[in-house]
Amino acid sequence: MDIAAVLRENGYKVTPQRLAVYEVVNNNTTHPNAEAIYKELQPKYPFMSLATVYKTMEIFAKIGVVQVLQCEEDAHRYDFNTKPHAHIRCTRCNRVMDVDVERDKLADLAQTQTGYRVDSVNVSFTGICAECQNEETGCQNEKEN
């Protein structure tokens, strides 16, 4: 994707900051939040501010470059896969993975039941990832209260 062109098409200026954010998080499959993006930028782009990351991600979301996840977590996470899909988060290590669900079917169901015109379908799961399941034996769960 030519991010510069997409920005221009949408009336946004092409700045080093925006290119830097795109460069760092494009093809990133870890579903980072703003803080993570900021930290990842630090070594190569120490001039970046966290506020700019937020502002940039807001624009990226608006022009469809990323989607914002609802992960049953406090901080937003961003996904460069903008195809609608669901996510599952490991409550132990916070790793997030994609899940494909039939969103259209769910939307139809909701529309039929409630009469709402459905605009967005958000599906998320939490669980324990395969890796953490392996480590679980004899190991106390860090997340226990």
Partner DNA sequence: GTGAGTGCAAACGCTTTGCATTCAT
Partner DNA sequence: ATGAATGCAAAGCGTTTGCACTCAC
Q: Alpha-carbon dihedral of residues 36, 37, 39, 44, nearest 10 degrees?
A: 160
Nearest approach in angstroms of CB 59 to its own copies is 12
Site string for DNA, 54-73 (x = CB under 7 A): xxx-x---------------
71 is in an annotated binding site: no
Nearest approach in angstroms of CB 108 to its own copies is 11
Closest alpha carbon to 19 in 51, 41, 50: 41
**Any contact of residue 47 with DNA (CB under 7 A)?**
yes
CA distances from residue 3 to 19, 26, 69, 93, 101 in whole angstroms, order as listed? 7, 10, 21, 32, 28
132 is in an annotated binding site: yes
Nearest approach in angstroms of CB 113 to DNA is 26
What gap in Å lies between CA 9 and CA 49, rounded to an integer? 25
Residues lying near DNA in the complex (CB under 7 A) are found at 8, 12-18, 33-35, 47-52, 54-56, 58, 74-76
